[in-house]
Amino acid sequence: MKNFKLAALVIFSLTAVCEDGRLDRDPNDYKYTSLGIYAFDAKDDSGLEAKFSLSLPGPLYLVAEAKADGVNVDNETYDKFTKAMRIGAHVGIGDVLNSVSAGGVSLKLENFLDIFLELGIKATDIDSDINFSESDSQANVITGIRFGNSNAWEGKIFVDFSKETEVVQQECPVNLICTAFETSQVTYVLDDETDQKFGFVATYNLNKKSAFTIETSTSKVLDSVIKIGYQINF
């Protein structure tokens, strides 16, 4: 949470001093067609992620992600592969509020931020060198806002709702005697409760076609994650 607050403070400060019109874009011309590669790191988890986003007709867009990382459990390392695909929709805050009138008074607000919602499915595969292999799929929902100036610094705040799959050491039930073999086994567990990841992304548009990103996120189930990456905009 401390990293999240620090990143938010930094991007708000940088947005305040960025140059308007540096790339000849409208300030809220946020790109929804892009290809990016990212490296991330957490306490017992690090890896690489690729992400592709494609703008569709109207407010819709498509997101495809693939992530590979290593998970450490009791001195054993497991390869975790996660794939996700989502359909998203975005709308400017001005378009939403300007369509609402009360007492004959209509609002005239600019689209200074985008609201977005993504719905899809996430599949997870976990493998190890000790003949352990499992797969699972679950719903994936992400919502949030995009803000800032597309000519320089942009920010994104999001919440990711999905269940997380974990590798845990099998425990002996209370009042039972288990063999060493039984307690040495690992179990593939889908967490009972839907996780809530709160994240913040800062994006600096280097030019019209490329951008640098840094992301921090917290989770109820997993460790906090720091992610950096390079993004190509189309």
Residues 6 or more apart from 84 whose CB is under 8 A from it?
Answer: 63, 64, 65, 120, 121, 122, 123, 140
Residues 6 or more apart from 153 whose CB is under 8 A from it?
Answer: 11, 14, 15, 18, 202, 203, 204, 205
Say whether pTM exceeds 0.85. Answer: no
* β-pair partners for 232: 35, 210
Residue 111: what pLDDT? Answer: 81
Q: What distance in Å separates the CA atoms of residue 170 and residue 182, rounded to the nearest whole number? A: 8
Q: Check pLDDT > 90 for residue 224.
A: no
Per residue in 21-75, pLDDT (tens digit) is: 678 888 889 999 999 999 998 876 789 999 999 999 999 999 999 999 877 666 6
Q: What distance in Å separates the CA atoms of residue 27 and residue 48, rounded to the nearest whole number? A: 30
Q: Is 125 helix (H, G, I), strand (E, B) or coil?
A: strand
Per residue in 167-197, pLDDT (tens digit) is: 666 666 666 666 665 555 555 555 556 678 8
For the domain with range 2-88+117-160+197-233, which CATH number is right: 2.20.28, 1.10.12, 2.40.160, 1.20.120?
2.40.160
- Can you give the C-alpha Rg of the chain in angstroms? 21
DSSP code string of 135-168 = EEEEEEEEEEEEEE-TTSEEEEEEEEEE--EEEE
For the chain, domain boundaries:
2-88+117-160+197-233
Q: What distance in Å separates the CA atoms of residue 77 and residue 217, rounded to the nearest whole number? A: 23
Residue 132: what pLDDT? Answer: 67
Residues 6 or more apart from 173 whose CB is under 8 A from it?
Answer: none
